[in-house]
Amino acid sequence: DQLYFAILMDRKYNGPVILASKKGGMDIEEVSETDPEAILVHPIDIKEGPQDADLDKLALDLGFEDDSLRSAAVDQIKKLYGMFINLDATQVEVNPWALNPEGKVWCIDAKINIDDNALFRHQRILDMRANSQTSEDVDPNEEKAAKAGLNYIKLDGDWGCIVNGAGLAMATMDLLKLKGKEPANFLDVGGGANEDQIKEAFEILMGNPNVKVIFINIFGGIMRCNIIAQGIVNACKSANLTLPLVVRFNGTNKDQGREILEEF
């Protein structure tokens, strides 16, 4: 028998939720569309943790009628939940969660997502990722950006983007595509970036041979445009920038920021 089991952070319930189904070994999104009643939903009080009676009922609903099997299933669920909490995970998904002919419960395949904001507590996990067989698929600049506190995703275009705020970053990429351009990346420096982070952002973009233009779009709020401007100047000096650079400032200290760039 192949089952589905997952623990997720769910905003609707303000905490972790267990999703489980007898229809494992297949795309759970498809199951949710075609047979939503086949998915069991069990919210968990994050302060109290999962209760034995609730887990026992869940295992019974999943078909673990034998007492010893149900006990083994409940024990695995507890361990999975412990891992979910200890790793600061946002998702632990087991698909399939299988019962073999010998009556043993196995986690056959799994996916774990860890909260990016908590990765500093899990260096061992970062090392495992860097040394795994899939490390070849990981853009080293994503690792570099994460260490610098930047949100970076490489794309296929040639316009490198540095923007503050995820919403503005998405809108900037949409505008580029509307004008027939293709963004080379998503790069959000956040609301409190400093000069060093701006310099790091430049180095990341310049390390991408596909980037032909760098476009900086900053709306100054908590982020002050003059700080960004000084970071741009320092980055250009240290990195020997040769690419065309387009900068848009609006908001806090935008005039001071423009003056710094004009003087440079």
Catalytic machinery residues: 4, 93
Query: What is the C-alpha separation between 123 and 129, in angstroms, rounded?
Result: 10
Query: What is the C-alpha separation between 229 and 226, in angstroms, rounded?
Result: 5
Query: What is the C-alpha separation between 259 and 264, in angstroms, rounded?
Result: 9
Cross-strand pairs, 247: 216
Query: What is the C-alpha separation between 31 and 40, in angstroms, rounded?
Result: 12
**Closest CA relative to residue 185, chosen from 164, 200, 170, 167:** 170
Length of the chain: 264
Query: CA 257 → CA 130, 218, 252, distances in Å?
Result: 38, 10, 9
For residue 183, say if its preceding peptide bond is cis, omega within 30 degrees of 0: no
Query: What is the C-alpha separation between 197 and 259, in angstroms, rounded?
Result: 21
